[in-house]
Structure 1
Amino acid sequence: MTAAYILGINMVIAGIFAIAFGVVATMNRNASGARWLSAGYATGIFTVLLEFAIPWQANALPVAVAIFLVYLLTLTFCVIGVARHYAVTSHAKYLGAIWLVSLLALPVTFTLPYGTLERGFLYQLPYFAMQVLGCFVIVRSGRREPLDLLLIALSLLAAFAYLSKPMIGWAVGMASASQGYMASTYAAISQMLGAITLVSLALVLLLVMMRDATAEMVARSETDVLSGILNRRGFDAHAEKALAAAREQAESVTLVAADIDHFKTVNDTYGHAIGDAVIARFAQLLKTAAGEGAVVGRLGGEEFAVLLAGSNLAEGRRFAESVRERFCAAPLAELGIDRTITASFGVAQLTLADNLFDLARRADSALYRAKRSGRNQVSLALGELTPKPPSPRTALA
């Protein structure tokens, strides 16, 4: 299989992936990384076209330099795309350093005799550095899912593939000048390595983007738009997982049910926009006080729930009292509210016989007692309670 044939395949593959990443960027406006990757693979097509032009050059040096720089630009776009996707911003100075060293080394690189190990290593070293920088970006992001680890591994393999090329050229023999590159065995091997890395990295990157897009869609479907915390669907799903994990580790769990007192009056007096602001304020207070690891959700209207893994009934009560006091004391004048707004809480601890429904029912019963007893207080579920009457919150709102 000749190098020219493989180069043609590489050009088609680069075009396909440029279109694929472009489609991803078009379908998801937040996928800025895909746009850069599309630009990178599209730029790679020009590298192939320049490779085809070399045999026809009397002086191949200008085209050879152009190939080197265009391919370095291709890798640069790809590194930026990976960094954008993984939200890593500390790569720019390293990109600048690679480009500066590469440009300063150009006279030395292209003055050395064609086909020598020294020239080969100097030529491939910037590509190696770019690929290693891509690995660094992924590692810096902190992502350690299987696809991320696979992408790191493939990037490292691609990096060392660049460094192996001078040795391969030395072993199989290279042409005496750039114009003879396309007819050499080394060119066929080099382009085959390029095709393998081109396809494998692009496929894994697409899988990473599909995975993250799917995760983003799931997160959106589980998030309450107004409050920014989980909606009922999201809360149930995450709470079930938290309960299962707590049972495996023999941890205690408490559920805090919360309800903003007289919320209908707030809406009627100040308008729904102000009521929405109060809900958002209360939700953020719950989320901040609960901290990492807690499952915080808005179940509907002014009703909220917080699942606290690793906490007992006393700790759940302290959490609820803290939130109650802070919410009651929160200044609301900037919202145009000239009175105090309070909330009521019910706290229940998980028992061996409980599922999420049972735990929620007991926390709701405790909340109902808090509202029935005057509101702005915390009530505990100390044992099995009789089922609450139908729609008690509607009656007491």
Structure 2
Amino acid sequence: MKRMHLDLATILTLHPLSLLVGAMCFLYVRFRSRRSRGLGKMAAAFLVLGMGSLLAATGAQGVVDYETWTFWSFLSGPASYALFWVGLINLTEERPAGRAWFVLVLPLGLTVWARISGFYLHNAERASVFLAVMGSFALASAWLVVRDRPGEFLQTRWGLGGALVCKAVIAFTTLAAIAYPGRLPVSPPTTFLVLILCQFAIAMFVLILVQERAERRLIALTETDSLTGIRNRHWMMDRLPRQAPKGSAYVIIDIDHFKQVNDRHGHLAGDLVLTSVAQAMGRLLGPDAILARMGGEEFGLFLPGAGKDEAQQIAEELRRSIGSQLILHEGTAIPVTMSAGVAVAPVAMSIAQLVARADEALYAAKRGGRDRVVLARFEAAAADDVTASGDAGPVTKPA
């Protein structure tokens, strides 16, 4: 059976084409997704590197004079890698590059050094510097990619980081082969072929990352209440278990006399009250709380494994925090209080039963004068009894 022979001329032709395809993919997604920063810079980086690779291929065939193609093909490497790094910061962190633009000092410095020393005229020295820059930027880019932004966990980051690490391994392996000739079985055709695959992988994972982020945002929009910024009923119902384990608590929170706020101060004031209350609860409970706006002025809170004491304490802290808020609308202070019904599962039970008991406790809080927390009681002899806390102090346990 014949062994496949990798023709260097063919590989050198495919390399700039792979970069051109990657640049076109970046530009396509850039114009379709206006929010994805950095793709334009990454496309420019691929084009610059592709032009340098094409120049080197034509120069090696004698089409371009030696000094011209060696200088410009060398310079295309540091310039493109620095530009790619800046674009990657824009893309992964979704912010302006800021001081990262100073990385362009590196290609400028290498340009001056190349002109003064003329090292680019020597194949081994030119290739060594080129590969060292490529490997360093690839590793730095991989580190940048795998660092998740707070609250953003994109699985594609690991694939993109892996492709960049592979590119760094190629660079440093080839650099070692140049430093120690004959010790490593590295051939130019194989090196360029693997590099082409890495370029395709990088472009592919960048596109998948943009798509995955867009899908995550779309899902977040369907699960987030557009007014208050906290989660909505749909998200809450998806997170609630069918069976509430023993000790799990469900709290229904309702803003007292909310209709009067709308009638007296207008719906904009009502929106301000809803937003202020929701944000206050979110700050007190933290990002991991299963809290959602269930509709109107009602909020739901699920506390898995909290138990009676902790559930009561949390509900009471929320009541005090909301009652102490100063909400101003057009210079007018709007007093806000809340009522809450708390149900804690004494045994494993359906979530529907637990929510129903919390709802009964909420109505008891309203009948008791509002601005209070009511704890539902679960007893075999009196399954429908509830007990209320005083409206000024902590919740009192049922006798």
Matched, 1:12 2:21: no
Q: Deviations over 1:100-153 (max 9, x none)?
A: 66446535874276333x443223111111111102212444677653333333
Q: 1:308 to 1:13 in 2, by over 3 A?
A: same
1:114 aligned to which of 108, 122, 127? 122
Q: Residues of 2 paired with 1:39 and 1:358: CA distance?
A: 60
TM-score (norm 2): 0.81
Q: Residues of 1 paired with 2:83 and 2:281: CA distance?
A: 42
Q: 1:28 to 1:360 in 2, by over 3 A?
A: farther
Q: Residues of 1 paired with 2:12 and 2:74: CA distance?
A: 16
Conserved? CA contact 2:49–2:77, under 8 Å: yes
Q: Residues of 2 paired with 1:373 and 1:343: CA distance?
A: 13
2:141 paired residue number: 134
Question: How big is the shift at 1:23?
Answer: 2.9
**AA of the residue aligned to 2:8:** A
Question: How big is the shift at 1:290?
Answer: 0.7
Q: Deviations over 1:250-283 (max 9, x none)?
A: 8x43222111111111111111111111110000
2:165 paired residue number: 156
1:39 paired residue number: 44
Q: In terms of mean alpha carbon deviation, does 274-283 or 129-138 score higher?
A: 129-138
Q: Deviations over 1:61-92 (max 9, x none)?
A: 23322222223232223322332232186982
Question: How big is the shift at 1:345?
Answer: 0.7
Q: In terms of mean alpha carbon deviation, does 8-17 or 153-162 score higher?
A: 8-17
Q: Residues of 2 paired with 1:76 and 1:230: CA distance?
A: 40
Conserved? CA contact 1:121–1:163, under 8 Å: no
Once the two structures are superposed, the pairs formed by residues 343-358 of structure 1 within 5 Å of their partners are 343-358=338-353
Equivalent position SS for 2:93: coil
**Identity across the alignment (%):** 24
Q: In terms of mean alpha carbon deviation, does 333-342 or 264-273 score higher?
A: 333-342
**AA of the residue aligned to 2:79:** L
Matched, 1:267 2:262: yes
**AA of the residue aligned to 2:171:** Y
State the Cα RMSD in Å.
Answer: 3.2
Q: Residues of 2 paired with 1:218 and 1:144: CA distance?
A: 14
1:30 aligned to which of 13, 23, 35? 35
Question: How big is the shift at 1:193?
Answer: 2.7
Equivalent position SS for 1:383: coil
Give the count of matched residue pairs.
369
2:368 paired residue number: 373
The runs of 5 or more residues in structure 1 that have no matched partner are 173-184, 388-397
Say which structure is richer in helix.
Answer: 1
Q: 1:18 to 1:350 in 2, by over 3 A?
A: farther
Question: How big is the shift at 1:297?
Answer: 0.7
Question: How big is the shift at 1:284?
Answer: 0.2
Conserved? CA contact 1:346–1:380, under 8 Å: yes
1:225 paired residue number: 226
Conserved? CA contact 1:347–1:378, under 8 Å: yes
Q: 1:207 to 1:214 in 2, by over 3 A?
A: same
Q: 1:238 to 1:123 in 2, by over 3 A?
A: same
Conserved? CA contact 1:18–1:42, under 8 Å: yes
2:3 paired residue number: none
Q: Residues of 2 paired with 1:132 and 1:94: CA distance?
A: 18
Equivalent position SS for 1:307: strand
Q: Deviations over 1:32-86 (max 9, x none)?
A: 1433333333333322332344234564223322222223232223322332232
**AA of the residue aligned to 2:231:** L
Conserved? CA contact 2:154–2:212, under 8 Å: no
TM-score (norm 1): 0.81
1:206 paired residue number: 207
